[in-house]
Amino acid sequence: MRKPELLVTPTSINDILPLAQAGADAFVVGEQRFGLRLAGEFKRDEVKKAIDLAHENGKKVYVAMNGIFHNEKIDELKDYVQFVSDVKADAIIFGDPAVLMTVKEVAPEMKLHWSTETTGTNWYSCNYWGRKGAKRAVLAREINMDSILEIKENAEVEIEVLVHGMTCMFQSKRSLLGNYFEYQGKVMEIENRKIQKNMFLHDKERENKYPIFEDENGTHIMSPNDVCIIDELQEMLEAEVDCFKIDGLLKSPEYILAVTKAYREAIDLFFKDPVLYEDKKDDLLSDLEDIQPPNRALDTGFYFKETVY
């Protein structure tokens, strides 16, 4: 069996070395002009520094270009793809065919990871984009464990899944904060509207607080809980799912580091002896529950159809 790649989203250049030492195999970096829902903003000089530092430590860096591009941004794609190629990124993450077409024209040797976060729900879609040039497909967050295993069995490309972090429930290209207070016909409150990193949409009926933020890509409403399946990795490890992603969006560097260490230990224990993982997995889960913010419970997302947002 092959170990899955442990993919982590750093908040800044200062996170790269500690996360590499903690067991991360690869990183997602980028800037919001081209990438969606990044844990940190990496301008061009920081992207280059991140790649150099990661490569010095035997790690990979993928640059996010998975935004939704309107006509006015198309002319910027060639220059950015050329930059990403020049600094020797290991892959570009894309969703828009405009990026794929630009890469084929400007940097045909560049690896591509297809990621739309919503339509990666079957192996036909994964293989379609694989035949167009993608080497990896990022699966949707809303499919269950059985579907993931079935896709992996039939996929012609690498498969990436989210194992820890929040998921996006809603995105609008419009800036909704401050003037949009009704969602699905029910009045909700925007808390801490002026604090970019600490805003919540409060649903009093369900007693849920949904993180909400705006950036250049519009308004994003995130799940009230964090996915965590550190104690349910065995089936995907046995199936050789290629990549486990830890999403650090709206999390502190200390939190991301602790989560990375925990998943590194879980993976390594399983490959040493599955019994060791079985004996330790509940303790690992308990450790992560201890560092979880009080208003954000851990759950298994849609892996076992337990969560309804």
pLDDT at position 249: 86
Contacts of 199 (CB under 8 A, 6+ apart): 177, 190, 191, 192, 193, 211, 212, 213
pLDDT at position 224: 77
Local confidence band at 182 (pLDDT 50, 70, 90 cut-offs)? very low
Q: Is residue 217 part of a domain?
A: yes
40 and 22 belong to one structural domain: yes
Q: Is residue 309 part of a domain?
A: no
pLDDT at position 266: 98
Q: Is residue 306 part of a domain?
A: no
240 and 105 belong to one structural domain: yes
96 and 185 belong to one structural domain: no
Q: Is residue 148 part of a domain?
A: yes
- Whichever domain contains 260, its CATH number is 3.20.20.70
68 and 142 belong to one structural domain: yes
pLDDT in tens, 264-298: 999 999 999 999 999 999 999 999 999 998 878 89
pLDDT in tens, 43-53: 999 999 999 99
pLDDT in tens, 20-37: 999 999 999 999 999 988
Local confidence band at 186 (pLDDT 50, 70, 90 cut-offs)? very low
86 and 55 belong to one structural domain: yes
Q: Is residue 293 part of a domain?
A: yes
DSSP of 154-221: H-SSEEEEEEEE--EEEEESS--TTT--EETTEE-EEESTT-TTS-EEEETTTTEEEEEEEETTEEEE
Q: Is residue 120 part of a domain?
A: yes
Give yes or no for residue 223 having a pLDDT over 50.
Answer: yes
Range of the domain at 109: 5-166+224-299
pLDDT at position 194: 43
At how many degrees (to 10) do helices 123-132 and 145-154 cross? 40
Q: Is residue 22 part of a domain?
A: yes
Q: Is residue 308 part of a domain?
A: no
pTM here? 0.88
pLDDT in tens, 228-244: 999 999 999 999 999 99
* Residue of 94 and 250 predicted with greater confidence: 94
How far apart (Å, rounded) are the C-alpha atoms in residues 306 and 309? 10
Q: What is the count of structural domains for the chain?
A: 2
